[in-house]
């Protein structure tokens, strides 16, 4: 039996995990390619199943959509969702090639039953509960779901495929459409739709804040905390490039003011 003191950090495994995590990319453009075996999709779903969750509640159902007809139907729902978003949230940068989702070889729809938040801490005193615990229960639920979807995306990357994370399923109209299409009751909300496919191009690097500014050792480095001005600047000048561009293209764009036409028109990787 090994004693803990003899245990060694596995730097090799750590590095390959960081390589995997940093190579995961949202690619919103798929080559309509070969379908993958069901076992591969099941393995990817299995990685999602192993995610941590508050109180081990596992509030998710992972619906693997791989029947080509069904994939097209789900893709159409998401294309309508994107149309509504483009109409209602003017200024939010969007990809014009809305129908890229139709080229998915499969879609992972993560349905969540929020009633599972009742399994997280609830104070006996209801006033205290409202002030201290209620909001955090929904945080716990959402971050649990995030962990599951992250696992799905990492496993997809490990398989040599790519994915994106579409959050529009949580919007009421889209949730209803997907519930009806995939046979889930109104209690289950599709918080995450993950199209899976063969990347049309090599996944570029995407901008991340530098590690020296993001990681705080033992206490906050105040100078590195972003403030309201940074948020306003991100909204006005950076967001549309930071979402879709590779890191170099993004840096070039944020150094100059955008032209009017660029505000709404963003092509994934092409601007």
Asked whether position 266 contacts ligand FMN by CB under 6 A, the answer is no
Residue closer to ligand FMN (CB basis): 26 or 80: 26
Binding mask 18-47 for ligand FMN (x = CB under 6 A): -------xx-x-------------------
Q: What is residue 65's three-state secondary structure?
A: strand
Question: Distance from first CA to last CA of the chain, Å, rounded?
Answer: 58
CB of 155 to ligand FMN, least distance (A): 15
Cβ closer to ligand FMN: 54 or 195?
195
Shortest distance (Å) from residue 25 CB to ligand FMN: 4
* x/- map, 223-252, ligand FMN, by CB under 6 A: --------------------x---------
**Can you read off the two tokens belonging to residue 202?**
């090599």
139-167 burial, b at 16+ Cβ within 10 Å, e below that, comes to: ebbbebbebbbbbbbbbbbbbebbbbbbe
* 137 touching ligand FMN, by CB under 6 A: no
Q: Which is nearer to ligand FMN, 134 or 204 (CB)?
A: 204
> Which residues, 185 to 214, sit near ligand FMN by CB under 6 A?
206
Q: What angle do CA 173, 176, 182 make, to 5 degrees?
A: 140
Q: Return the sign of the alpha-carbon dihedral for residues 181, 183, 185, 188.
A: negative
**Interacting residues with ligand FMN between 150 and 169 (CB under 6 A):** 164-168
Least gap, CB of 105 to ligand FMN (angstroms): 18
Contact 138, 167 (CB under 8 A): no
Nearer to ligand FMN, 20 or 118 (CB): 20
Total residues at interface with ligand FMN (CB under 6 A): 10
Measured CA to CA, the distance from residue 194 to residue 245 in angstroms comes to 20
Give start and end residues of each alpha helix (H) in 89-219: 126-128, 134-158, 172-182, 211-214
When the beta carbons of 26 and 57 are compared against ligand FMN, the nearer one is 26
CB of 56 to ligand FMN, least distance (A): 22
Whole-number Å distance between alpha carbons of 269 and 212: 27
Give the Cα separation of 68 and 164 in Å (integer).
18
CB of residue 102 to ligand FMN, shortest distance in Å: 15
* Least CB distance to ligand FMN at residue 222 (A): 26
Helix H or strand E segment including 231 = helix 228-233
CB 77 to ligand FMN: min, Å: 13
CA distance 142 to 130: 18
Binding site for ligand FMN (CB under 6 A): 25-26, 28, 164-168, 206, 243
């Amino acid at each position: 039996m090994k004693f803990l003191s003899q245990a060694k950090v596995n730097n090799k495994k750590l590095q390959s995990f960081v390589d995997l995590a940093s190579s995961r990319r949202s690619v919103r453009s798929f080559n309509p390619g070969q379908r993958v075996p069901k076992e591969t999709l099941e393995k990817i779903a299995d990685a999602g199943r192993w995610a941590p969750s508050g109180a081990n509640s596992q509030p998710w159902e992972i619906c693997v959509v791989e029947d080509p007809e069904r994939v097209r139907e789900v893709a159409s729902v998401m294309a309508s969702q994107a149309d509504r978003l483009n109409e209602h949230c003017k200024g939010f940068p969007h990809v014009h090639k809305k129908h890229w989702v139709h080229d998915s070889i499969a879609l992972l729809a993560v349905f969540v039953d929020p009633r599972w938040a009742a399994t997280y801490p609830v104070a006996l005193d209801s006033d205290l509960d409202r002030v201290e615990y209620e909001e955090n229960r929904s945080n716990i639920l959402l971050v649990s779901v995030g962990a599951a979807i992250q696992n799905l995306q990492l496993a997809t990357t490990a398989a040599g495929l790519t994915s994106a994370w579409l959050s529009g399923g949580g919007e009421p109209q889209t949730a209803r459409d997907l519930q009806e299409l995939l046979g889930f009751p109104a209690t289950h909300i599709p918080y995450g739709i993950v199209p899976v496919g063969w990347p049309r191009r090599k996944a570029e690097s995407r901008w991340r804040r530098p590690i020296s500014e993001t990681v705080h050792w033992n206490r906050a480095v105040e100078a590195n905390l972003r403030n309201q001005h940074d948020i306003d600047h991100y909204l006005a000048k950076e967001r549309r490039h930071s979402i879709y561009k590779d890191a170099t293209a993004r840096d070039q764009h944020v150094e100059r003011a955008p032209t009017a036409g660029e505000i709404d028109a963003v092509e994934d990787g092409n601007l």
